[in-house]
Amino acid sequence: MNAEALLAAGTPTACAPWPRVVVPRAVWIALREAPGLDLLALWGAPGMAHAAFLDRAAMRVVLASLPAPEGRFPALSPGRPGAVLFERALHDLWRLLPEEAVDARPFLDHGRWPVAGPLSARPAPQEPEAPPMTFLPAEGEGVHQIPVGPIHAGIIEPGHFRFHVQGETILRLEARLGYTHKGTLSLMLGKSPRAAARFAARLSGDSTVAHALAFARAAEAAAGVAAPPRAVAIRAAMLELERLHNHLHDLGAIAGDAAFAALHAECGEWREHLLRAQHAAFGHRLMMDRVLPGGVAQDLEAPGIAALRGVLARIAAALPGLRRIYDSHASLQDRMVGTGIIAPALRDAFAPGGVVGRAAGRAFDARVLNGEMAAEAMPLHAAGDVDARWRQRHAEAGIAIARAEALLAALPEGPLAAPLPPRGGEGVALVEGFRGECLAWVALDDGGLIEALYLRDPSWLHWPLLEAAVIGTIVADFPLINKSINGSYSGVDL
Amino acid sequence: MLWPRLARNLLTRPRTDPPVTPRPEVVAALRERLAEAGQRRLGRSLAIRHVDAGSCNGCELECHALGNVAHDLERYGLRFVASPRHADVLLVTGPLTRNMAEALLRCRAATPEPVWVVAAGDCAVDGGVFKGSYAVLGGVEEAIMPDLVIPGCPPTPTQILEGLVALLEAQAG
Ligand code: SF4
């Protein structure tokens, strides 16, 4: 099954700018194995399962939906390991049962909510009882378990990691998330896109611009509105600034997890300078709530632009030095090179986005898909280990600076936002955040209020790869590998 | 080479911000709380255990920034520790999700007395934008009474520092 066959076999809906088709069951089952289509996301709606794919040949997104009137649908996980977590969450939130699913255990639902299937048509009241979690087993001589979390040792989001180890070697890791589940999607339903934007901005705080932008673009596509050019440029600049501050954070934190404090301090200082310039320019250090459906919340004025360009120039000058420090310490390299490898077979099976994917050799960046960046401009450090992910981030930080600088130097004049008319429609968007592609899908009812939606963080495909990448490594390398992948907990927990 | 670096650092201005001063009324209120509780005083240094009770991770970014060279929280005698058993302060972020409530209570139970509980960020104060969700209890006080709240979404590192330094001042008096 390729994208053409999929589109021909289904009934099209009015989704913009990429197509969504409602398909019969047999076609849905065929999507388990469709080599040209990478799974982006799988989610639900009352009585309906939705899936989003990347059509690699045509570089576009394709959506498929299967009606599930009986509350069940054929699982995609038998052919697509990346579907496993999505299916578990789908059952938790929408109470749709994935038939023949590889893993039927709950994921986000810990049995502590007052309702079962909170996003289903009729959520059933339930008595919170929190049954004990079950973990996949590992057996053998001297195997023991290390339970970690939900509260971890550092300043980090909560999640439970269950290690099975033999001596120092990790045999199996399972990440159990859902601790930060806030019911974000349910809070957005029935609101206008403008009123719902602040929830998209808080799906994962470190990607606040990326998720808010994906949501805004999807809502604009649904309402048939285009943001004015000045807003488009300011948003694009914010996206690059967000990428840069997070990459600086990760470049430092990875070194910090290898106990190399100097680089950590150096990167942290540059990041702080950048956040202060962002505060000067946007009135918020992380630029939260500055992206709105229709445009931007406020203008970027000359002093702010000057502050940003000044700090960008200084960071650009400092970046090569950061890599020299990294390159010239054999003790640091020793921890990074060959650690936590994501092998090509796994990369192809999961098709992860972002730095994690590119550092394993998967040449995809949503900015190329949106025509914002040339494919040749994308660096690839393809070894798949911690070192490759560090170098990939370093290279991408440089590109982010160049792009932000170019955007800030030539902001078009004009209005900051277009009004969103209260009308129905359906839209989808893919935005390259610092972790990878953030997907938003929004359906508006005739009054322009949100009828159905989904927001998907790239971390959905990164968590299972973390579990795979640590197998055979030692427990002491886990923090390093985890930091180099840096999945969002809140982004997945919804 | 160490010497050139050392020389350079001796000749440049410090990269650290000037120290923050906490608001006097906050210090006074905390002192009153201390007196009321007849609480034993902690020393002039506080060990902080951060607990994320379901945040969006925005607050965590700013807690991290407390450790960078500009804010350098360790110069005040403040430091983050890895276990609640070592902690004098629980710094709680997030709207307190139902899935995190038990973990927070267990963490509190594992923290030796006396302890300050700080709710940092609008979410931790009262649930913030997530108030009213089926998955959220709505603020730290639904599980434990905080001694100090630091609003903001997220609060800036300077605001968090002002709060933490106020705790130090309160017990110094
Ligand atoms: S207060 Fe704001 S930044 Fe902090 S967790 Fe809540 S939404 Fe995120």
- Kindly give the distance from the C-alpha atom of residue A102 to the centroid of ligand 1, in angstroms, as a whole number: 35
Q: CA A16 to CA A440: how far, in whole Å?
A: 12
| pLDDT exceeds 80 at position B173 | no
> What are A196-243's pLDDT values in tens digits?
999 999 999 999 999 999 999 999 999 999 999 999 999 999 999 999
> What are A307-332's pLDDT values in tens digits?
999 999 999 999 999 999 999 999 99
Q: CA B115 to CA B34: how far, in whole Å?
A: 11
Q: How confident is the model at residue A139 (pLDDT cuts 50, 70, 90)?
A: confident
A189-201 mean pLDDT: 97
Which residues, 6 or more positions from A44, have their beta carbon under 8 angstroms from its beta carbon?
A50, A90, A93, A94, A96, A119
The conformation of residue B143, written as its DSSP 8-state character, comes to T
Q: CA B146 to CA B28: how far, in whole Å?
A: 16
pLDDT at A370: 82
Q: Report which of residues A56 and A211 the model is more confident about.
A: A211
For ligand 1, say whether the CB of B55 is within 6 Å of any of its atoms. yes
pLDDT at B39: 62
pLDDT at B40: 62
| pLDDT exceeds 90 at position A376 | no
Q: CA B142 to CA B125: how far, in whole Å?
A: 10
Q: CA A36 to CA A22: how far, in whole Å?
A: 19
Mutate to test the interface with A, among B56, B106, B122, B159 (most CBs of A within 10 A): B56
CB A359 within 8 A of CB A389: yes
Q: A-chain residues within 8 Å CB-CB of B65? A: 268, 271-272, 275
Radius of gyration of the CA atoms of chain A, in A: 22
Tell me if chain B has a CB within 8 Å of the CB of A291: no
Instruction: Name the H helices within A328-385.
Output: 330-336, 344-350, 354-358, 366-369
> What are B68-90's pLDDT values in tens digits?
999 999 999 999 999 999 999 99
Interchain contact, A206 vs B58, CB within 8 Å? yes
Scan residues 43-102 of B and list those with Cβ closer than 8 Å to A: 50-65, 67-71, 80, 82-84, 94-95, 97-102
What's the token pair of residue A182?
Answer: 């806030």
A387-405 mean pLDDT: 96
**Average per-residue pLDDT for chain A:** 94
What's the token pair of residue A330?
Answer: 């054999």
Q: Summarize chain A as % helix, strand, coil (round to 5).
A: 45, 20, 40
| pLDDT exceeds 90 at position A162 | yes
Interchain contact, A269 vs B154, CB within 8 Å? no
Q: How confident is the model at residue B9 (pLDDT cuts 50, 70, 90)?
A: confident
Q: CA geometry: angle at A485 spanning A479 and A490, to 5°?
A: 95
Given the DSSP bridges, would you call strands A437-444 and A124-125 parallel, antiparallel or unpaired?
unpaired
A70: buried, middle or exposed (CB in 10 Å: 19+, 13-18, 0-12)?
exposed
Residue B9: CB atoms within 10 A of its CB come to 10
Residue A45 CA neighbour count, 13 Å, CB half: 17
pLDDT at A378: 85
CB A154 within 8 A of CB A85: no
ipTM (interface predicted TM): 0.93
| Min Cα separation B54/chain A (Å) | 4
Q: CA A321 to CA B72: how far, in whole Å?
A: 23
CA closest to B63 among chain A residues: A155
CA closest to A156 among chain B residues: B60
A102-132 burial, b if ≥16 CB within 10 A, otherwise e?
A: beeebbbbbbbbebebbbbeebeeeeeeeee
pLDDT at A328: 92
Q: A-chain residues within 8 Å CB-CB of B96? A: none
Q: B-chain residues within 8 Å CB-CB of A203? A: 56
Interchain contact, A180 vs B134, CB within 8 Å? no
| C-alpha B12: how far from chain center | 31
Q: CA A417 to CA A427: how far, in whole Å?
A: 18
| pLDDT exceeds 90 at position B3 | no
Q: A-chain residues within 8 Å CB-CB of B156? A: 279, 285
- Kindly give the distance from the C-alpha atom of residue B94 to the centroid of ligand 1, in angstroms, as a whole number: 6
Which residue of B56, B126, B150 sits with most ligand 1 atoms within 8 Å of its CB, as the best mutation to test the pocket?
Answer: B56
Q: Which among B64, B101, B154 has the least Cβ separation from residue A155?
A: B64
| Min Cα separation B40/chain A (Å) | 27
Q: Region of B132 please: left (phi>0), alpha (psi -120 to 50) or beta.
A: left
| pLDDT exceeds 80 at position B36 | no
Which residues, 6 or more positions from B63, have their beta carbon under 8 angstroms from its beta carbon?
A155, B50, B80, B91, B93, B120, B157, B160
The one-letter amino acid code at B43 reads G
CB A454 within 8 A of CB A494: no
| Min Cα separation B121/chain A (Å) | 12
CB A382 within 8 A of CB A388: yes
Tokens 């390991």: give the residue: A81
A469-484 mean pLDDT: 94
